[in-house]
A and B are shown apart, each in its own frame.
Chain A
Amino acid sequence: MDIANRSGSSPSTEAEIINVSRRHFIQGVGGLALGLYLGPVLAAAAKHGAASFEPNAFVRIAPDGTVTVIAKHVEVGQGTYTGLATLVAEELDADWSRVRVEGAPADASRYKNLFYGAQVTGGSTAMANSFEQMRKAGATARAMLVSAAARQWKVSPDSLTVSNGVVHHAASGRQAGFGQLAAAAARLPVPSEVKLKDPKDFILIGKLNVPRKDSTDKTDGRALFTQDVKLPGMLVAIVAHPPRFGATVKSVDASKAQEIPGVVAVVPYAGTAHTFGGVAVLAKNTWVAKKGRDALDVQWDDSQSFKLGSDEILAQYRQMASRPGQVARQAGDVDAAFAKPARLIEADYAFPYLAHAAMEPMNCLVRLEDGRCEIWNGEQAQTIDQFALAKQLGLAPEKISITQLYAGGSFGRRASTFSDYLSEAVAVAQAAAKQGVNAPIKLVWTREEDTRGGYYRPLFFHRARLSLDPAGKLVGWHQHLVGQSILTGTPLEQFGVKDGIDSVSVEGAGEPYDIPNRRIELSTPLASGVPVLWFRSVGHTHTAFATETLIDEAAVAAGKDPVEFRRPLLAKHPRHWGVLQLAAEKAGWGTKLAPGAAGERRGRGIAVHESFNSYVAQVAEVTVKPDGSFKVDRVVCAVDCGLAINPDVIKAQMEGGIGFGLAAALHGAITLKDGVVEQSNFHDYQVLRINEMPAVEVHIVPSAEKPTGVGEPGVPPIAPAVANAVFAATGHRIRTLPFGEQLKS
């Protein structure tokens, strides 16, 4: 079946489209030079032989014995292709080296996230929601292969064993590979019940020698990202966006652009309340399209645009914090706790907008043809996008197909609540069609559009006060958070907003400490013109910072060691305490740090935080130079994510999460002036570089609890751990992020 005939709601079992490395393309078409064109390749690749065995939507076994796992979650680097395949292969007793992975098409009926009921990758849920589902998929296939062998050999299924993709009959010495049994297994009924392994029998889950499935293709340049896909006749669209959110095209002089050889069309297109309108220049070659875009002379209508700067926004938030907000959580008698505090700690925190800045800038390939819309994209939210694009095009959602590609990072950006960049790609294609240009169109944002494209981690302001009693016990915690809601007004509002309180605005604030009197307040500014979105670990990016630096301040005020100070406050939270203790022990907490060079000050800081049901503690060691510059030398990290499915991927996610969190802590800031984003590329929106990366040591708590996520939970503790270490070294409290040059003043 050709991809052109696919529909989202009634997909053929043969229609899984390969995700998508050029090696497979080349196989699929017998060596078409470099797999240049996707169209014919997909058609060829979709023709899996009739002898393939597909017991369910997640496994396919070819006559040559290759096991293909169909991944319902997108691989953005977090290792989900490897994790999902591990779960299937474990129960299948497959040969890991013969397992490959394809991205699933958009089809929530088969590929929904079981926690969300929609096809979404997010909230660090991939392993948690798939743990049983994928194992059952593998176990089902295994049972059918065993039945097929038992019938052929006329023996009892119980007398057969399976290992490394081969079914054995010990008594007779007979054996057959999965490929040899595939055709026969395909004719058997699918069992409704299957038995899963006892965890003590796992041979892949929890083991260290299970390499990533995407490692080879990502080290030889073959892995295909949206940026790399090309359809016959495809045009690249490079766009001019308005400098301010909410501005529209007033007029455009395209004469210079149209003179550039290779420019095919100049296409103004309308935006919506949530997506940019602008002017697209279409060409076969990205460079030509960019030259054309740079030659445009566009006048913008700024009458409706957003014109505030970050300083003004922050000033407004400060004012809002001095008026009562909505109470998100409350316990005890907070006013009484602050009536006569023995020690009072007061602190204001400011957190800027942050851009995800994935290495692959946003892009999306769209083909509008015959009342259908085909999308090629690496993305986290297929169901949301199907519905949004269907509405935009006046089509049924099943007329929107999405081929899943690798994403060059995402960090939440490719889970766009308003499908912003996909919707823009469709708007460009629609406008082009009106001009008679009916080609597949790949919208490609340059780094500048990506940096200025909004959908940022929202700017937040917190005002906090803590009250300690004469014995140094923490008795009052009052924290007021002010910032835009990520969920309000989106299709997901009903899932996270209750009585006007967006749960992700306050998630993690003050948690989980056992404090008798506590109030968490929230003020949510009405719609601002700056679009906001989740950003790797979402609300925890700011709540963990405030919470964990406040606790450190309280410990210091009480004259206690920060780890010991937490002990009674975590009495009901053994998993927090477990990672905290483990990180402290492995880091040599309480021992003296080796001194730095003359004039250098060194310090150690600790933080612990739960997010997405995983528990992470980190100890950071810093060296502050005489000029106030500083370096994070080493981070010791302990993680409890339940049963560890792939320990090496977990380690990698902690390492990467630490680096990502450190980038935000040290440098990350999107600022606006008169509504214009001041940053544009990596020189002024700095991310972490290798010379700033600390040595990282990761320890995983052995656990038999249900597996939980690791993509995000490594991020929240690092910024407060570093801030606490800087305090230990210098006595200086950082309460405004990023750190920037604050220690130099």
Chain B
Amino acid sequence: MVKFTINGKAHSFDGDLAMPLLWYLRDELAMTGTKYGCGMALCGACTVHLDGQSVRSCVTPVSAADGKKITTIEGVDAERIGRAVQAAWRKLQVVQCGYCQSGQIMTATALLAANKNPSDADIDAAMSGNICRCATYVRIRAAIHEAARSLA
């Protein structure tokens, strides 16, 4: 049995603890904002926060979340940085198909929590694990700068 919070709500689970958090969120809790893209920590579509750190939920077993705080795209707006990132994404019209964008927003939020004013190089380094096949990268960069400005 493991216990954790998801977006501030307490949960416990005593099923298959080797199950990746991704499938627990999606299939057991129907929290489908977190996406499957590769299953191998290659694309970032499944990014969530574990105690504020970005993790790839497709390779993070449920057991690794024991006692931790999980934040997903559905709860990222509870905090100021997450809200600012989402607002910047909307202002700059970042999304295309949208499938990668939950993961992009989660990674960008963690980046801004660690680095208030990232350079383009910082952004490229932090975001290069998140694939966008629609290549919305120009706007992702701009939106992160925009969010940083709005938080300053």
A-side residues, CB < 8 A to B, are: 33-36, 75-79, 211-212, 214-225, 227-228, 230, 236, 261, 284-288, 357-361, 406-411, 446-447, 648-649, 652, 655-660, 662-663, 681-683, 687-691, 693, 695-696
Q: Would you give 30 A-B contacts (Cβ < 8 Å), ordered by A? A: A34-B29, A211-B93, A212-B93, A212-B95, A217-B98, A219-B86, A220-B86, A221-B32, A221-B72, A221-B73, A228-B26, A359-B97, A361-B37, A406-B97, A406-B98, A409-B97, A409-B133, A652-B93, A652-B136, A656-B96, A656-B136, A658-B135, A659-B136, A659-B137, A662-B135, A663-B135, A681-B40, A681-B42, A688-B137, A689-B137
A691 touches B125 (CB 8 A): yes
The CA of A697 and the CA of B143, in the complex, are separated in Å by 16
Interface residues of B in 34-57 (CB under 8 A from A): 34-40, 42-43, 45
Contact pick for B97, options A77, A224, A230, A663, CB 8 Å: A77
Interface residues of B in 67-104 (CB under 8 A from A): 72-74, 77, 86, 89-90, 93-102
The CA of A691 and the CA of B137, in the complex, are separated in Å by 9
Contact pick for A287, options B20, B123, B131, CB 8 Å: B20
- Chain A neighbourhood of B131, CB < 8 A: 359, 682, 687, 689
**Interface residue? B30 (CB, 8 A):** yes
Known: A212-B95, A214-B98. A447 touches B138 (CB 8 A): no
B101 touches A218 (CB 8 A): yes
Residue with the highest number of chain A CB atoms closer than 10 Å, among B123, B130, B134, B137: B134
B127 touches A220 (CB 8 A): no
For the complex formed, measure the closest distance between the CB of B148 and the CB atoms of chain A, giving whole angstroms. 16
A215 touches B43 (CB 8 A): no
Contact pick for B32, options A228, A648, A649, CB 8 Å: A228
For the complex formed, measure the closest distance between the CB of A356 and the CB atoms of chain B, giving whole angstroms. 8
For the complex formed, measure the closest distance between the CB of A448 and the CB atoms of chain B, giving whole angstroms. 8
- Chain A neighbourhood of B89, CB < 8 A: 215, 219
- Chain B neighbourhood of A689, CB < 8 A: 128, 131, 137
The CA of A139 and the CA of B106, in the complex, are separated in Å by 42
**Interface residue? B112 (CB, 8 A):** no
Query: What 20 new A-B contacts, CB under 8 Å, besides A221-B31, A691-B124?
Result: A77-B98, A215-B89, A220-B77, A220-B86, A286-B27, A358-B99, A406-B97, A408-B97, A409-B96, A409-B133, A446-B39, A447-B40, A652-B93, A656-B135, A659-B134, A660-B133, A681-B38, A690-B130, A693-B137, A696-B138
B135 touches A359 (CB 8 A): no
The CA of A409 and the CA of B95, in the complex, are separated in Å by 11
For the complex formed, measure the closest distance between the CB of A341 and the CB atoms of chain B, giving whole angstroms. 41
Q: Which 6 A-B pairs have the closest CB atoms?
A: A221-B33, A659-B135, A408-B99, A218-B98, A77-B97, A77-B96
Interface residues of B in 112-152 (CB under 8 A from A): 123-125, 127-128, 130-141
How many chain B residues sit at the interface, stated as a range, is 35 or more
Name the residue of chain A whose CB is nearest to the CB of B33. A221
Known: A221-B74, A285-B23. A76 touches B38 (CB 8 A): no
- Chain B neighbourhood of A35, CB < 8 A: 30
The CA of A7 and the CA of B94, in the complex, are separated in Å by 37
A409 touches B134 (CB 8 A): yes
The CA of A223 and the CA of B33, in the complex, are separated in Å by 8
Name the residue of chain B whose CB is nearest to the CB of A649. B93
The CA of A411 and the CA of B43, in the complex, are separated in Å by 18
The CA of A225 and the CA of B97, in the complex, are separated in Å by 10
Contact pick for B74, options A220, A288, A409, A447, CB 8 Å: A220
For the complex formed, measure the closest distance between the CB of A376 and the CB atoms of chain B, giving whole angstroms. 13
A683 touches B97 (CB 8 A): no
A408 touches B139 (CB 8 A): no
Name the residue of chain A whose CB is nearest to the CB of B136. A656
**Interface residue? B28 (CB, 8 A):** yes
**Interface residue? B19 (CB, 8 A):** yes
- Chain A neighbourhood of B27, CB < 8 A: 236, 284-287
Name the residue of chain A whose CB is nearest to the CB of B86. A219
Name the residue of chain B whose CB is nearest to the CB of A661. B135
- Chain B neighbourhood of A446, CB < 8 A: 39
B99 touches A409 (CB 8 A): yes
Name the residue of chain A whose CB is nearest to the CB of B19. A287
The CA of A695 and the CA of B127, in the complex, are separated in Å by 16
B35 touches A683 (CB 8 A): no
The CA of A524 and the CA of B2, in the complex, are separated in Å by 60
- Chain B neighbourhood of A284, CB < 8 A: 27
B134 touches A34 (CB 8 A): no
For the complex formed, measure the closest distance between the CB of A15 and the CB atoms of chain B, giving whole angstroms. 25
- Chain A neighbourhood of B36, CB < 8 A: 227, 286, 361
A227 touches B136 (CB 8 A): no
For the complex formed, measure the closest distance between the CB of B40 and the CB atoms of chain A, giving whole angstroms. 6
A447 touches B39 (CB 8 A): yes
- Chain B neighbourhood of A648, CB < 8 A: 93
The CA of A446 and the CA of B40, in the complex, are separated in Å by 11
A690 touches B23 (CB 8 A): no
The CA of A359 and the CA of B104, in the complex, are separated in Å by 13
